[in-house]
Amino acid sequence: MSESLDNQISYHPEFCFGDGSIVLLVEGTVGFKVHKSLLCRHSTFFKDMLGLPLKDSETTRLGQPVVRLPQDNAAGVAGVLKAVYDNRFFDKYLPTVLSSQGEQQYLGLLSAMMPVARKYDFESVFDGCIEALRRILPIQFQGMTTRIESLQLVVDPVKRTANILTALRLADTFDLFEFFPSLFYQVVGFHTPEEIYDMSDLSWKDKTRCVMGIAELRVEQGEALRNCFPPTGDCTKLVRTEGGWIRPMCSQRPSLAAKLKRTKKIVVLDRLEFEKESNVVHCRDCTLRYSSEYEKNQMRIWNALPKIFHLAKSWEDLLLGRVE
């Protein structure tokens, strides 16, 4: 490498090791002086490339070979190298970013890292990024209820929408099908059909899936409410009469479902409570029964989300990549 070009390199402050054996040159001027052995250990791409003689390769004044990565960004390369050098990156550093800097910074870092990790076959880093996404894109029912509760606390709806769509772009770019039901539910849980159609960052195919999903979720929700309290049957409430103790049905029991408090556009995964102001008489056992039955229906609907959003017939098919 010529003296003038050598002087143009501005080394990254975290990755300029004195005993570094190779320089990765990013964005024309940002240099990462790192250890060739570590790159080869974590990346099959660099293992294959550096296993061959680097003909006509550029070198620094001290003789380290220079590998140019002209199409990559410094933030992405730095993130991947940080994960390679620090074995606590995914367990400690990333969760700290999420808790202290927020979801936007967290997703921004993953968005920068994942293309680099995939491109250069840093398999363990890429898999770690997928696990990191699961913190905000749960594929289990209980995790989703917690996620919805946290999203409801977000003060800025614009920022909330931007984060959801950023995560959706990542899932779409890397064919992470398992995250689609969770993401689509987050979209429809906080936006009307009109708002969804106006989202410029959402493809028409995904808009259609979301809007059709809203309609099907409402149908599923209605069935869940109706199935909890059939119009006939005995209540477990004991009432003393002249003829002795009897177990009559709760007063106006068929209308109990209609007397539930609804606070969301779609309430499939939200908790429902009986209205305190209603005149409907219901016993403790019926209330508990409703809660139990409703949770069962929540799980039933959760299991049907891939089909509701026209993604796959089941979660199993979705995880196998059998996307419609």
pLDDT at position 93: 94
Q: Are residues 224 and 128 in the same domain?
A: no
Q: Where are the alpha helices (DSSP H) in the chain?
A: 3-8, 36-42, 44-50, 74-85, 94-101, 103-119, 123-133, 141-152, 157-173, 180-190, 193-197, 204-228, 284-308, 315-319
Please give the Cα distance from 236 to 208 (Å, whole number).
45
Q: Which domain holds residue 224?
A: 216-307
Mean pLDDT of the chain: 81
Is 316 within a domain?
Answer: no
Domain count, the chain: 2
Q: Are residues 9 and 119 in the same domain?
A: yes
71-97 confidence digits (pLDDT tens)? 999 999 999 999 999 999 999 999 999
Is 107 within a domain?
Answer: yes
pLDDT at position 262: 43
Q: Are residues 27 and 122 in the same domain?
A: yes
Q: Are residues 220 and 130 in the same domain?
A: no
Q: CA quadruple 209, 210, 211, 217: dihedral positive or negative?
A: positive
Whole-number percent of the chain with pLDDT over 70: 75
CATH number at residue 28: 3.30.710.10
List all residues 6 or more positions away from 97 whose beta carbon is below 8 Å from its beta carbon. Answer: 105, 106, 109
Is 90 within a domain?
Answer: yes
Q: Residue 265 has what DSSP assignment? A: S
270-319 confidence digits (pLDDT tens)? 544 444 444 555 566 666 666 676 677 778 888 889 999 999 999 999 98
Residue 45 is encoded by which pair of tokens? 């791409």
Q: Per-residue confidence at 231, pLDDT binned at 50, 70, 90?
A: very low
Please give the Cα distance from 136 to 150 (Å, whole number).
10
Provide mean pLDDT across the span 66-75.
92
pLDDT at position 40: 94
The pTM (predicted TM-score) of the whole model is 0.80
Is 299 within a domain?
Answer: yes
